[in-house]
Amino acid sequence: MTFRPDQPMSRLDVAIMLVKGLGLQTLLSAKDVVNQSLAFKDLANLSESQLNYLKIVNGFGLMVGGDGISFRPNDAVTRTEAAVLLVRVLGYEEDAKAIQYPRLSFVDAADIPAWAAPSVQVAVQHGRL
């Protein structure tokens, strides 16, 4: 994985970056990680090593997939997904859950999915966006 600011990162690349950045690499060979199964139907082309990274981020609830059956490992991470990940990694998820009616003043606020809007607001409130 090579980071290039002119190219979007895939969801798989972000998962690998999170595991390494959070110092969770030791879990890559842990029996409970290796033996864990993922319910996503779009992972057939991934190596066992790549699957283990996904098992870790999924197990910690950092990246959970969207519809419950697909992870979309090769899709680019969106700004919205990045904001949600940031809130989860920084431990602000409970703050986001407490927001019932998010107020966002971005020009494209209407394009932010309802499931992500509270996390985007929390990221803004904490000066992360």
Q: What is the pLDDT of residue 128?
A: 73
Dist CA 123 CA 48 (whole Å): 33
DSSP-derived 3-state class of residue 76: strand
Task: Calculate mean pLDDT across residues 80-85.
Answer: 92
pLDDT tens column, 10-64? 999 999 999 999 999 999 888 888 888 898 999 999 999 999 999 999 999 999 8
Strand-pair partners of 60:
none
pLDDT at 120: 93
Q: pLDDT class for 2, splitting at 50, 70, 90?
A: low
Report the alpha-carbon distance of residue 97 to residue 93 in Å, rounded: 6
